[in-house]
Amino acid sequence: MTELRAGQGAQTLAPPRIEARPQRYRDVLIALAAFVVLALLPMMFGSKQLLDFVIRCAAYGLFATSLNLLVGYTGLISFGHGMFFGLGAYGFGLMMQKTGVPIPVAFLVTLAITCVIAVIIGAICVRLKEIYFAFVTLAFQMLIHSTILSWQSLTGGDQGLRGGIPRPPFLGIDLSNHLHLYITSCALLVIGLLLMRQIAQSPFGYTLRMIRDNATRASFIGIDVWRAKLVIFVLAALFAATGGMIMALFVSGAYPEFAYWTISGEGIFINMLGGVTTFLGPMVGTVLLLILNDTVTRLTEYHGIVLGVVILFFAIGLRKGLMDFVVEWFAQRRGEGRG
Amino acid sequence: MDLDALASCLASPACLVTQTTSGLIIGMLLFLVAVGLTLIFGVLKVVNFSHGAFYMFGAYFAMTAYQLTGSFALAILAGAAGTAILGLTFERLFMSRVYGRDVLMQLLVCYAFVLIFDDVVRMIWGPEFKSMGMPAAFQVPPLFIAGGVVPPYYLLLIGVALAAAVVLGLGLARSRIGKVIRAAAHNPGMVSALGINTGLIYGGVFALGGMLAGLAGALAAPVRSLTPGMGFSVLIESFIVTVIGGMGSILGALIGALLIGLIRSFGSLSFPLFTEGLMYLFMVIVLVSRPTGLFGKEVA
């Protein structure tokens, strides 16, 4: 059906080059500024809790934003994206515990393993229609979860990877030092977001939007839909695994909950909470969910009810995420000012 | 991994009978849950991600009714009727607002209710494991068929589930209501134009699906332990069943459920820790060879 290759078809959709370049510089500048602000945070507020919070935001934020590449940009509703979060955490933890290679090596090898697994799972899943896709990814998530539970000799079963993950210093960066861990997490977050932003704004990113809006038309134009979906599935998996690795470093271990379906459910919820139409929506959603989770668990043991009601409020009441709402509100105000 | 255990069981009729009946009851319970899921999907075009909660409520309703009245028949009735009412309420108040919206919204509304229902059960019945106990009428010595042990209750369970399957299949194929439901699945606009209240049909189908899951929960209550969150693993399994059988196909749900039940009971002999994994593997194999399931049509 497709004689043209994905890249060639995509070029017709590319935004004008003149605009693209300044925007890239702007993104890099924003990323640098964000990193500087985050790096200065420990000097202004010494509280360990705040730093912990930012590290968790980095882990979940990378995960949720990568899920948005699938859900928001490509229209692939993955309900098993959390498996790559878990894979990242376990892959990295095991690599550090069993082999003792330097941290960057373990990082890259984990990404490579995730890439291979994501290609296999993605090749099976991405040709399925949306609801099948959602649940087959969920089933793969449960497959990985039950593998982790049953492969006790390697993963420690339901106890998780215990005994801590060794974190030998590398080039003067000592990740067992809380401040170093914090800065590294922030750096990974900012770099990850910047890369994902580049993917989203690239011609390939626009190809994905087109597949979301009308896959049939995209394939008539000569785009290999299956391949484009597979590529973004694998790329998103890599960023999710990075989030998982930050989490493994943070808790110095890996637990089966990291690969459980609720992580995927939370990811979808975060996207909904923040909104999928803006790039930073999932990041906003992450911060909101973590604050919500922390407050609610402190106040009541029935936090499922509270979270459920909040989800219902957004899904049925507001019908969109917070960032979608804010963006629309601004657009409306600007419209009024002009008119 | 212990393949010898499987081989020696396959060689002995006693073990074969025991494992097959235990596979059948797993399969039959799964069928009751999965058929509701597939029916709701076929007519309403939504995947009821909170379907497991109806199974859970069915079990808890049955336990409470049994403790209050001491009658097992009333307990089953309470489980089925209670979840039917719950299903109708849930559909009219919440699900009906997300028809035709994107899948993400439908999943989220259901996800919210998975969280809420689990906590509601925790509030009312407590977080600990509960057990209803075998009703007095079935506390009799097991039957021995070819040397295999078969508790009489298992026969009742299989019989009730089979009866439900037959009534449902015939009802949909032959009765007037069945025809209306199939028409509504095919073309709701036309059905509504012919003066039939589609909202009522949708609510009714959802209630029916909920009732079947509740019936499964009530039947499972004497042989399973009850805990908040018990619905979720059943949901995942019954989803695997519908994917294997093909979304929207009742026969597919039956075949898929029996296959999964047998895989679980025989698989547990050789791979005690990886029985769940076996199911997922089986599903993957089916999906790779037939992306719409064994009995699915291209429309899904």
String of DSSP letters for B193-259: HTT--HHHHHHHHHHHHHHHHHHHHHHHTTTS-B-TTHHHHHHHHHHHHHHHH-TT-HHHHHHHHHH
What is the predicted pLDDT for the residue at B297?
64
| A51 Cβ neighbours under 8 A, 6+ residues apart | A41, A42, A178, A179, A182
Residues of B in contact with A312 (CB under 8 A): 94, 109, 112
- Top pLDDT among A26 and B58 is at B58
Mean pLDDT within A152-172: 73
Query: B116, A309: Cβ pair inside 8 Å?
Result: yes
B51 contacts on A by Cβ (under 8 Å): none
DSSP character string of A6-57: HHHHHHTTPPPHHHHHHHHHHHHHHHHHHHHHHHHHHHH---HHHHHHHHHH
Q: Which helix (H) or strand (E) holds B150?
A: strand B148-150
**Percent residues over pLDDT 90 in chain A:** 12
**Residues in chain B within 8 Å Cβ distance of A265:** 111
Cα A59 to Cα B254: distance, rounded to the nearest angstrom: 42
CA distance B21 to chain A (A): 25
pLDDT band per the 50, 70, 90 thresholds, residue A241: very high
> What radius of gyration, in Å, describes the C-alpha atoms of chain B?
19
Residues of chain B found within 8 Å of residue A78, distances taken between Cβ atoms: none
Helix-helix angle B198-220:B152-174, to 10 degrees: 170
Of A156-165, B30-39, B214-223, least confident by mean pLDDT is A156-165
3-class secondary structure, B99 = coil
Q: Where are the domains of chain B?
A: 3-289
Is the pLDDT confidence value at A245 over 50?
yes
Q: Which residues of A touch B (CB under 8 A)?
A: 71, 77, 79, 124, 127-132, 134-136, 138-140, 142-143, 146-147, 149-150, 152, 261, 265, 268-269, 272, 276, 302-305, 307-309, 311-312, 314-316, 319
What average pLDDT does this structure show over B161-171?
88
d(CA B20, CA A224): 46
- pLDDT, tens digit (0-9, with 9 covering 90-100), for A189-210: 989 998 998 888 888 888 888 8
Higher pLDDT, B34 or B145: B34
For residue B229, give how far its alpha carbon lies from the nearest alpha carbon of chain A (Å).
11
For residue A164, pLDDT over 80 is answered with no
Q: Is B148 helix (H, G, I), strand (E, B) or coil?
A: strand
Q: Does B74 touch chain A (CB under 8 A)?
A: no
Looking at the DSSP bridge assignments, the partners of residue B226 are B130
List C-alpha distances in Å: A320 to A34, A324, A328.
26, 6, 10
* CA gyration radius, chain A: 20
For residue A1, the model assigns a pLDDT of 39
Q: How many CA atoms lie less than 13 Å away from A178 in the CB half-sphere? A: 10
Q: B120 in contact with A at a CB cutoff of 8 Å?
A: yes
CB B25 within 8 A of CB B219: no
pLDDT at A8 over 50: no
**Residue A99 half-sphere exposure, CB side, CA atoms within 13 Å?**
13
Distance between CA atoms of residues A65 and A33, nearest Å = 19
Q: Residue A114: which pLDDT band, with cuts at 50, 70 and 90?
A: very high
pLDDT at A259 over 50: yes
Give the contacts of A71 (CB within 8 A, at least 6 positions apart).
A77, A78, A268, A271, A276, B104
Mean pLDDT of chain A: 80
User: What residue has token string 């590290």?
Assistant: A55
- Interface residue of B40, B96, B280 to substitute, partner A, most A CBs within 10 Å: B280
Lowest mean pLDDT among A33-37, A308-312, B197-201: A33-37
- Lookup result for tokens 């009850």: B226
Q: Residue A116's pLDDT band (boundaries 50, 70, 90)?
A: very high
Q: Is B93 on the interface with A (CB under 8 A)?
A: no
Q: Report CB contact under 8 Å: B107, A77.
A: yes
Closest Cβ opposite residue A308 in set B115, B274, B284: B115
Distances (CA, A) of A88 to A32, A182, A201, A237: 26, 18, 26, 9
pLDDT score recorded for residue B95: 82
Whether this model's ipTM surpasses 0.85 comes out as no
- Closest chain B CA to residue A318: B105
Mean pLDDT along residues B175-194: 85
Cβ of B119 within 8 Å of Cβ of A152? The answer is no
Q: What is the pLDDT of residues B93-128, one digit of tens each?
A: 888 887 777 777 787 888 888 888 888 888 888 888
Q: B5 falls in which pLDDT band (50, 70, 90)? A: confident
Q: What is the pLDDT of residue A80?
A: 86
Q: What pLDDT band is residue A172 in, cutting at 50, 70 and 90?
A: low
Of the candidates B108, B239, B240, the beta carbon closest to that of A272 is on B108
Chain-chain contact of B107 with A308 (C-beta, under 8 angstroms)? no
Rounded to 10 degrees, the C-alpha dihedral A281/A282/A287/A289 comes to: 120
Contact of B136 with chain A, judged by CB distance below 8 Å, is answered with: no
pLDDT digits (tens, 9 = 90+) for B53-92: 999 999 999 999 988 888 888 888 998 999 999 999 988 8
**Mean pLDDT score, A259-265:** 82
CA distances to A79, A155, A215 from A203, rounded to whole Å, are 26, 41, 16
Determine the pLDDT at residue A20.
Answer: 57
- Asked if CATH classification 1.10.3470 holds for the domain at B3-289, the reply, yes or no, is yes
CA distances from A325 to A61, A69, A207, A314, A321 (A): 20, 20, 26, 11, 6
Over pLDDT 70: what percentage of chain B? 97
pLDDT band at B188 (very low <50, low <70, confident <90, very high): confident
For B94-197, where are the alpha helices, taking DSSP H only?
103-125, 152-174, 176-186, 188-193
pLDDT in tens, A273-302: 777 777 888 888 888 888 887 887 777 777
More confident residue, A155 or A249: A249
User: Which pLDDT score is estimated for A276?
Assistant: 74
Query: How many Å apart are CA A168 and CA B176, to the nearest integer?
Result: 73
Confidence of residue B1 (pLDDT cuts 50, 70, 90): low
Q: Please tell me the distance from the alpha carbon of residue B260 to that of residue B244, in angstroms, as a whole number.
A: 9
List beta partners, residue B149.
B144
Domain boundary assignment for chain A: 17-260
Cβ contact A93:A156 at 8 Å: no
Residues of B in contact with A308 (CB under 8 A): 112-116, 119
pLDDT at site A234: 93
Token digits of residue A33? 């500024």
- Estimate to the nearest angstrom the gap between the alpha carbon of B221 and the chain centroid: 13
Pick the residue with more confidence: B140 or B251?
B251
Q: Which of A205, A268, A272, A209 is nearest to A75 (CA)?
A: A209
**Distance (Å, whole) CA B233 – CA A142:** 10
